[in-house]
Structure 1
């Protein structure tokens, strides 16, 4: 009897301790991050009314207003966001998306499966330079009920969880479905489902974003985000030093980090997937000849260029960041100055002009190092620093006629998140194919990447793509800068660094995200199911269950402890 009583007393105590612990977790989630009134985040240009069809550089701002089906965690891995779960069929060609309940648009209307299906169809039918190509494998979309979306694919497309599901903002059908012909986006303030609403836009001057207090992932920890438009980079840095802004949403070079580091300012560091490459124009001499491109690649000591360009990672493993799960496991470029000299010292070779953007000191330095290496190998080479607008026209951006020979250019981070994006950069009709590269072998490999039934088979195809690009050399990947993002701790300290992209992310403004954002990997294979973590409501439910268990055990203990009627009471 006494052993039973002792066990019951222990169980009751453990139940109560568990209840108190879980209640503390729930209360702590609300109280952990200080609820800042205002955080000031500068941005270099006006981005229109911040819709998915009107931004240029402002994707991070757009995704504070809109949500996606999935969203990348701190490890850069797509996790369910608007989705509660995503399940693949055994053949990999059908995705069943179960949406969370209780999600609402900023105007109070519920977000349903119809909105997701509408978005996929709308973006497929209305070309968008970033999102439309991500939907190329969609054969059909159905909505069996208000919370379920079924997407049929023409091939497994294992990267579909990242692009489009973790990249494409979901649109409200009741707002976007009635647009007149020729208008791609609504005017006025956008209606999203995200943690912030756009409440004021002073064109060319600033944005004001207010917290969505009813956000389904928890009330944002910052009440207001002010976004002043500051076009000059030096003025932005001075504003941080003088306390007029609270962070700089772009990665800073090391000399600038030393300037801003000090009392009250910290720097978050991590991998950044946006890289720098030496881009060739394959349409005109001398880089229409593969042997000349290979000679230039052999002339470049990537380790030395990376060291001289600041805190960067040399791109010796090719076009994808070495921290990407899809990166090559072997070095793809070798420094061979003797081999380079044999081709580049040819007096018949025309002079090589290397363009660099005037607003990027790191890329200007990279161009200087490239030119020095080419001159050392015997080539006639010179650097030309030009305004970024002129450089964009020279490489053929926005349909301009390409006029460059070589340029220091950017590699998009989306390729390192999912290698299917390589087709956008090097495939036929790819909107970022500024080199003019054409290769039927690459196209066949791109099809294998999209059709691969397993991650292992997909990795084999990606490795072959990267080796082919290293052999054909439409670009020479140079380096990836280390991300360095400065912020004032007194304004907001709970920034979440998302691997590959930095700290300007909605996770940085949501309760508990800094502790919950560790990744354990995502199953992205046929037959796999991905479910979201237990959220605040789940934790609260567990807490109530623990309380009920504790109370029940306590009541049982009292009944066991109560003596039978007529029995004498025992003294303790």
Structure 2
């Protein structure tokens, strides 16, 4: 009996000793534990709002923050659209009926099962609670039916060519058991508002600090999440923070790329220029409602020089037809152009009656008023000053009004501007984005400044219902010709995208062809974070 007690005591001491040794191995900085520790990845990025499906700031980075928490029926990889929440889908010959077969075993972050009822609820909820991103095209859906727990049928009013990319790959599916009691989604910032099915869960959001902290979803249905914690934070000077090891990745400009190239443990990827920077006119005000005036402005702007001075080569000059040449099959190379010609700009202004020139070099209207306008722009960058100087050379005075992005976007959406410089993505996806330039087909219904050309509107309505790709391509080409002739907006340049990162933290980043969802030009495809099962 004594021997047995002695044996048990020695065994207990041995087990305790081994446990302490293992703890010491895992916690000592100089030793490597047998189990790999979760990786924390820090990204330098600004605040884009609380990442619920309704409260994210309605620009690309805001959608991406949300997409890490929520999933869509389909998604995109390096080649195109792939099944996601649905493991497969079918479409009728006439393009109106879509049936999605949901991936089995998908669960929300709170453990509840995701079913066809959640999908049905999502589309019905968004239809009754409009959102600037989703409501543009949601009304094309005639009916939604949950066939059973794993199948859902969406019937469209008419065929809709961009249905997969702009609806099925864009609209985040939300949990019915949480959202069915939410009457005002724009004010819903409860922690349950970010319960989704995505690869990450939100741990912390601090708007004042521009801080997001996500943790991996260990039960993600698509596979193991490669990193344990994902952090978005804004260090103020991202290049310096990257060089000091405070962040693991950021979006450099062309000058910063030159500094980083060849650095140790640094990789840089470059994406196509599907981010457009353009000059907008308030078409409801004089003289911007005059084609000759807009043409004069176009001839006064030296686009290659703007690219060189504003981006130091990190962009390509704009195209009057709006689409970037990098869009390939949808790009029409044969549209009207306005090469830099200040003398032609002056002649056009003279023809409009702006014949008198004051001692300051600025033209006068027939009533003696100076030809002077306000130019709304962002606080960052020198684009405004460059445009101001080029227009001054032909006798147009520009008063710059620099705003932070939120106030800037609100003024544009409400039509409270004369001229504005605006930059955004979304021009690399389906050419349905051309429809957002015109008044009847945009989500911003109360903006009187939008383009309104009957022939353009007719083509815009028709092209989305065209199933034959060649027929649709002809319509899109004609739309570009009309835009180049009418000049409702002047594309200044298409900015190239760069992403610098530490490959020892996470490798495999890529720019999604056509962009994420409706065409967001970003390296943040959730596929990067997932190791498939």
- Residue 529 of structure 2 corresponds to which residue in structure 1? 509
- Residue 103 of structure 1 corresponds to which residue in structure 2? 106
Alignment of 1:225-244 (within 5 A): 225-230=230-235, 232=236, 235-244=237-246
Mapped to 2, the partners of 1:181 and 1:224 lie a distance apart of: 31
- Residue 24 of structure 2 corresponds to which residue in structure 1? none
Do the aligned partners of 1:71 and 1:80 also contact (CA within 8 Å) in 2?
Answer: yes
Q: Per the alignment, in what secondary structure is the counterpart of residue 507 of structure 1? A: helix
> What TM-score, normalized to structure 2?
0.80
- Structure 1 residues 334, 173: closer, same or farther in 2, change over 3 A? same
Gaps of 5+ in 2: 1-35, 356-363, 516-520
Once the two structures are TM-superposed, the CA of residue 302 in structure 1 deviates from its matched residue by 3.0
- Residue 370 of structure 1 corresponds to which residue in structure 2? 387
| Match 2:75 to one of 61, 65, 71 | 71
- Structure 1 residues 184, 149: closer, same or farther in 2, change over 3 A? farther
Structure number with the bigger relative contact order (C-alpha 8 A, sep ≥ 6) is: 1
| Match 2:395 to one of 379, 382, 386 | 379
| Match 2:126 to one of 123, 131, 144 | 123
Do the aligned partners of 1:204 and 1:229 also contact (CA within 8 Å) in 2?
Answer: no
- Structure 1 residues 200, 336: closer, same or farther in 2, change over 3 A? closer
- Residue 556 of structure 1 corresponds to which residue in structure 2? none
Q: Per the alignment, in what secondary structure is the counterpart of residue 416 of structure 1? A: coil
Once the two structures are TM-superposed, the CA of residue 395 in structure 1 deviates from its matched residue by 4.1
Once the two structures are TM-superposed, the CA of residue 92 in structure 1 deviates from its matched residue by 1.1
Do the aligned partners of 1:321 and 1:327 also contact (CA within 8 Å) in 2?
Answer: no
Q: How many residues align?
A: 465
- Residue 427 of structure 1 corresponds to which residue in structure 2? 439
Mapped to 2, the partners of 1:489 and 1:352 lie a distance apart of: 51
Once the two structures are TM-superposed, the CA of residue 158 in structure 1 deviates from its matched residue by 0.7
CA RMSD of aligned residues (A): 2.6
> What TM-score, normalized to structure 1?
0.75
Gaps of 5+ in 1: 1-33, 513-535, 537-572
| Match 2:506 to one of 487, 492, 503 | 492
User: Structure 1 residue 191 and structure 2 residue 192: aligned?
Assistant: no
User: Structure 1 residue 459 and structure 2 residue 481: aligned?
Assistant: no
Q: Deviations over 1:277-315 (max 9, x none)?
A: 011111212211112112222333434433333311222
- Residue 544 of structure 1 corresponds to which residue in structure 2? none
Q: Per the alignment, in what secondary structure is the counterpart of residue 486 of structure 1? A: strand
Alignment of 1:109-258 (within 5 A): 109-180=112-183, 185=188, 187-189=190-192, 190-205=194-209, 206-230=211-235, 232=236, 235-248=237-250, 251-258=251-258
Once the two structures are TM-superposed, the CA of residue 357 in structure 1 deviates from its matched residue by 3.4
User: Structure 1 residue 339 and structure 2 residue 344: aligned?
Assistant: yes
Once the two structures are TM-superposed, the CA of residue 325 in structure 1 deviates from its matched residue by 4.8
Mapped to 2, the partners of 1:54 and 1:452 lie a distance apart of: 34
Do the aligned partners of 1:88 and 1:94 also contact (CA within 8 Å) in 2?
Answer: yes
User: Structure 1 residue 396 and structure 2 residue 412: aligned?
Assistant: yes
Do the aligned partners of 1:327 and 1:416 also contact (CA within 8 Å) in 2?
Answer: no
Once the two structures are TM-superposed, the CA of residue 79 in structure 1 deviates from its matched residue by 2.1
Alignment of 1:15-26 (within 5 A): none
